[in-house]
Amino acid sequence: MANLRAEAVAALETRLGHRFKDKALLERALTHASVGEGAPVGIHGPRDNERLEFLGDRVLGLLVAERLSTQFPTADEGQLSSSLHALVDKGACARVGEALGVGPALRLSPGETKTGGRRKAGVIADAVEAILAAVYLDGGLDAAKAVFERAWSDELSAPPSRTLTNPKSALQEWAQGQGRPLPTYRVADRTGSDHAPTFTVEVSVQDVQPLTAQGRSRQEAEKAAATALLKREGVI
């Protein structure tokens, strides 16, 4: 199993297109918080990827904002903000992580592994942000930008449709059009640290099977859930 993970880490590094000078940074970016539960804090802080995730979120935001400002010089702030959100949310990061093969490279506790941690969108998305921070610390902003341009190429080439700009409103309109009450949202779970929480929200529409989605805030999770439900029902 250890050899399989080592192979997955090596393959991930190849897909990133960045050879780490400090391999420990990549290892830390791939280490889920469940691994260190109950362990003493090291001299440089916790040994999991949560602090790197915090930094990576900011690095990603900067890179996306710069890319959009250059690519769409006539777009207004609202249009840029909508596009930025779509490129940095948990769903986008999870898709990037799946394409990179992050799941098999993760370092998880036995318990998290048994519950399917390597396939959890939230776990993969968090690791992707941590990996971007690790690249930034290892090679600087230019290295992080190169990884971003490569890893997010599919997301950048397929901007979200206008229907997804406000998915909660779109879902509300669809429900009303079906003669059903307004959708309801419920926080099903909240995990992670205070500075980097992950919310799992369930959305329900009368006579429709509920669906859950994750986000770094309740609002983000609600939007992700609304989008997923609209897609599942063939509305978008």
Q: Give catalytic status of residue 57 as yes or no.
A: yes
Would you say 126 is a known binding-site residue? yes
DSSP one-letter code for 21: S
- Residue 210, pLDDT > 70, answer yes
CA nearest to 48, candidates 130, 120, 119: 130
Q: Which of 48, 50, 57, 220 is catalytic?
A: 57
Q: What ranges do the domains of the chain cover?
A: 4-157, 167-233
Tokens 């830390």 belong to 28
SS3 214: strand
User: Quick one: pLDDT band at residue 79, thresholds 50, 70, 90?
Assistant: confident
**CATH code assigned to 167-233:** 3.30.160.20
Q: Give me the pLDDT at residue 21, please.
A: 97
Q: What is the mean pLDDT of residues 97-126?
A: 92
* Per-residue model confidence as pLDDT tens digits over 129-152: 999 999 999 999 999 999 999 999
Query: Does the fold of domain 167-233 match that of domain 4-157?
Result: no
Q: Which of 50, 89, 112, 129 is catalytic?
A: 129
Residue 37 tokens read as 């539960």
Q: Give catalytic status of residue 129 as yes or no.
A: yes
Cβ–Cβ < 8 Å for 90, 125: yes
- Fold classified for 4-157: Ribonuclease iii, N-terminal Endonuclease Domain; Chain A (1.10.1520)
Please give the Cα distance from 29 to 84 (Å, whole number). Answer: 23
Would you say 129 is a known binding-site residue? yes
* Per-residue model confidence as pLDDT tens digits over 38-69: 545 554 445 899 999 999 999 999 999 999 99
pTM comes to 0.72
Would you say 142 is a known binding-site residue? no
User: Quick one: pLDDT band at residue 159, thresholds 50, 70, 90?
Assistant: low
Q: Give me the pLDDT at residue 83, please.
A: 82
